[in-house]
Amino acid sequence: MIPTSFEYKNAGSVADAIGMLGDDGQILGGGQSLIPALKLRLNSPGVLVDISKVDAIKGISDNEKSITVGGGATHASIASNADLDSAAPMLVQAAREIGDIQVRNRGTIGGSIAHADPAADWPAVLLASDANVMIQNKDGKRTVDIDQFFKGFYETALEEGEVITGISIPKSGFNKNSAYAKFKQPASRFAIVGCAAAVDIDGGVVKEARVAMTGVSECAYRVTAVEKALVGKALTAENIEAAVGDVTEGRDVMSDHYASEKYRTHLASVYAKRALKKLL
């Protein structure tokens, strides 16, 4: 289909972009989710404000205690980043498995979490990494803890007129020892089920664990029961098997033509175990 008509504006900076949005403007990142939505007429903004040439939010910088990934960083730039590969390998693993090369070259991490598709990879990975989302609006800047960011089905803490400028990933023990595993939809490679796991081991036992799922229900979530069950124990295959029960408990599990509710529930536990076993 053909989108409804809109005005196109090219922003030179984030402040520029915020100023250009007006009452019915929408940010255009890599366009990999928004353009299909426009073609289906699910969205019909009056103005599209393109931030894909705002260099200030495209980089990845290694700071003393964290790594800042620009909101406009493409999946491809994350997939090939050596600093992230060493500080938080699950980000690089997830980026390498997103879509195809065209999607990875155009799509951005900021666009993905703003869109909050329930089958997207970044939400689970960023929940497991204890990230902070850096946001700019007309009044200034704010930071949202990732645990407060995803609110529901395509729903986030992002408000009208806001731009995600970056995502801060702590250089923590658990991020250094992290992995992502997903069962992909064979054509799009979206997660039918995906699990991100990050475990800090001290003195032979798990000191801290963060485990998050995507693809399962209305939005990504942490599995705190598994996190708690792992703490204080050695990370062994037997302890992982014992810690991972039904990781969908309390969730409305999605059912579609790729996976029924029953099959997805089964896959969720299988992939939680696979992500954790990658860390052995």
DSSP-assigned beta bridge partners for residue 166: 70, 134
Per-residue DSSP letters for 228-266? HHHTTS---HHHHHHH-S-TTTTS-----SS--HHHHHH
- DSSP annotation of 81: -
Q: How far apart are CA 60 and CA 75, in angstroms?
A: 11
Q: Could you say which of 4, 143, 188, 236 contacts ligand FAD (CB under 6 A)?
A: 188
11 makes contact with ligand FAD (CB under 6 A) = no
By CB under 6 A, the residues from 35 to 74 that bind ligand FAD are 51, 71-72
166 makes contact with ligand FAD (CB under 6 A) = no
Q: How far apart are CA 134 and CA 247, in angstroms?
A: 29
- Strands, E, within the chain: which ranges? 7-10, 25-28, 47-50, 60-62, 66-70, 132-137, 140-145, 150-152, 155-156, 163-170, 178-184, 191-202, 205-214, 221-222
In whole angstroms, the minimum distance from the beta carbon of 146 to ligand FAD comes to 15
- DSSP annotation of 139: T
114 makes contact with ligand FAD (CB under 6 A) = yes
Q: Could you say which of 18, 33, 178, 268 contacts ligand FAD (CB under 6 A)?
A: 33
The two structure tokens encoding residue 43: 């969205």
236 makes contact with ligand FAD (CB under 6 A) = no
Q: Which is nearer to ligand FAD, 121 or 227 (CB)?
A: 121
Number of chain positions touching ligand FAD (CB under 6 A):
32
Q: Could you say which of 18, 69, 88, 99 contacts ligand FAD (CB under 6 A)?
A: 99
258 makes contact with ligand FAD (CB under 6 A) = no
21 makes contact with ligand FAD (CB under 6 A) = no
Q: Could you say which of 115, 210, 222, 273 contacts ligand FAD (CB under 6 A)?
A: 115
Q: Which is nearer to ligand FAD, 119 or 206 (CB)?
A: 119
In whole angstroms, the minimum distance from the beta carbon of 159 to ligand FAD comes to 10
Q: How far apart are CA 4 and CA 105, in angstroms?
A: 26
Q: How far apart are CA 169 and CA 156, in angstroms?
A: 19
31 makes contact with ligand FAD (CB under 6 A) = yes
Residues within the interface to ligand FAD (CB under 6 A): 26-34, 51, 71-72, 98-99, 103, 106-108, 110-112, 114-115, 117, 120-122, 163-164, 188-190
